[in-house]
Structure 1
Amino acid sequence: MTRASLDKQPHEVASMFDGVAKRYDLTNDVLSLGQARLWRKEVAKAVDARPGQKVLDLAAGTATSSQPFAEAGAYVVPCDFSLGMLRVGKERHPWMPFTAGDATKLPFKDDTFDAVTISFGLRNVQATDTALAELYRVTKPGGRVVICEFSRPVWAPFRTVYMEYLMKALPPVARTVSSNPDAYVYLAESIQEWPDQPALASRLVKAGWSDVAWRNLTGGVVALHRGFKRD
């Protein structure tokens, strides 16, 4: 299996990410033209992790996204369903409590975390609404969710260029830096299929989250959605 299909069967997606684990962070930096690091910084600001808080970083992969929360003094749990990603992450950060888990059935008790976050992973989950409800379940009353995901550029001319880049330029670039370029064809297709900013906000509200809002990054290439679990 070199890539997942768009019906997002969990075993296919996990296998695909297992295959790209070792060079995943490097590939993301190259394909995003360096923007991935900026996006991670914005996620860290939005999560606003503090000493003593518990943070769940879902779809954490190798835990590059988890580091800012740990550096802020929070207890962060990197969680992913790709064992290959978790193995690479554990080699790089042996002190972190890596946890294997499915977003649609999280292995945590109710009301566990002060903040839950997922970056570039929600669109790879087969049952998005179930995952949003699970994130709500494991969040403490008064806690927050931050979702960073590819979205829709707001300026029409840029949106056209961006979509062409995804399908035409991304695969050949991926062939030069990734161990599994076909996986990035799937990723490009999944971005095109993903709902826009208002549609994702509506799904967060449906899952129970309150005060849902979003902020566009890089002209809407990526959007940060945030919501709260009422006391």
Structure 2
Amino acid sequence: MTRASLDKQPDEVAAMFDGVASRYDLVNDVLSLGQARLWRREVARAVAARAGERVLDLAAGTGTSSVAFGAAGATVVPCDFSLGMLREGKRRHPELPLTAGDATRLPFADGVFDAVTISFGLRNVHDPDAALRELLRVTRPGGRVLVCEFSRPTWAPFRTVYTEYLMRALPPVARAVSSNPDAYVYLAESIRAWPDQAGLAARLQRAGWSGVAWRNLTGGIVAMHRGTKRG
């Protein structure tokens, strides 16, 4: 599977991430021109985890994004379906309770998390709407969700340049720095196929989240969507 237009089979997507686990964070920093670290900081700030809270970090990969929630005093549960990413995460962060799980059938009871978050992973789930419903199920009443995902630049000239970068510049850069450049071709195409800010907001609302809103980062290359579970 290398094209975003194909159905996303979970085992194929997991195998793709298994193959890039060891250099995944480094390659992301290179391909995003250093913006990936800024986006992680903004996610941590928006989730605003507090001591005593339980936070689910879905599609956590190697656990890089989870560290900030633990540092805030929350109990963080990093969850991912790529065993390769989890193994690499355990090597780097042995203190984290990394958990294997399918976003559409989470291995958690109802209403156990104060906050749930997923960054740059929802578009790789074979049924994103089911994942959003699952996130709602495991969140306590009054709890919150934060979805950080690639989106649509808001300034049309920049949007054109960005699209050209994704499909023309990203593949050769990926070939230079990644052991599996085809994975990044797929990821670039998945970004182009993903809905814009309003489209993702509508999906969150259909899944049952209330008070849905979003904030653009880096001119709309990325958007953070938030919502709450009705009490």
TM-score range, shorter chain: over 0.9
Q: Per-residue deviation at 1:204?
A: 0.4
The correspondence of residues 55-204 of structure 1 with structure 2, limited to 5 A, is 55-204=55-204
User: Cα deviation per residue 1:150-186 (whole Å; 9 max; x = unaligned)?
Assistant: 0000000000000000000000001111111110000
Rounded to whole Å, the distance in 2 between the matches of 1:173 and 1:43 is: 26
What CA distance in whole angstroms lies between the structure 1 residues aligned with 2:173 and 2:129? 33
Aligned to 1:174, the other structure's residue is in SS state helix
Deviation at 1:230, TM superposition (A): 1.3
Distance 2:219 2:63 in 1: 26
Letter in 1 for 2:127: A
Q: 2:68 is paired with a residue of what secondary structure? A: helix
Corresponding position: 1:11 with 2:17:
no
Aligned to 1:208: 208
Query: In the alignment, is residue 220 of structure 1 matched against residue 220 of structure 2?
Result: yes
Alpha-carbon distance between aligned partners in 1 of 2:29 and 2:7, rounded to the nearest angstrom: 27
Unaligned residue ranges in structure 1 (runs of 5+): none
Letter in 1 for 2:130: T
**For 2:9 and 2:211, how far apart are their aligned partners in 1?**
32
Number of residue pairs matched?
230
- TM-score, length of structure 1 as denominator length: 0.98
Cα offset, 1:67, TM superposition:
0.7
CA distance in 2, matches of 1:4, 1:130: 22
* CA-atom RMSD in angstroms: 0.9
> Within 2, Cα distance between the matches of 1:209 and 1:92?
34
Identical columns (%)? 77
Contact 2:3 2:189 survives alignment (8 Å): no
Q: What 5-or-longer segments of structure 2 have no aligned partner?
A: none
- Equivalent residues of 2:3, 2:185 under 8 A apart: no
How far 1:4 moved relative to its partner?
6.5
For 1:168, give the aligned amino acid: R
Matched residue of 1:76: which SS?
strand
Aligned residue number for residue 30 of structure 2: 30
Q: Residue 212 of structure 1 aligns to a residue in which SS?
A: strand
Normalization by structure 2: what TM-score?
0.98
4+ residue runs of structure 1 moved beyond 6 angstroms?
none
Q: Check the 8 A contact 1:4/1:16 in 2, yes or no.
A: no
- The AA in structure 2 aligned to 1:131 is A
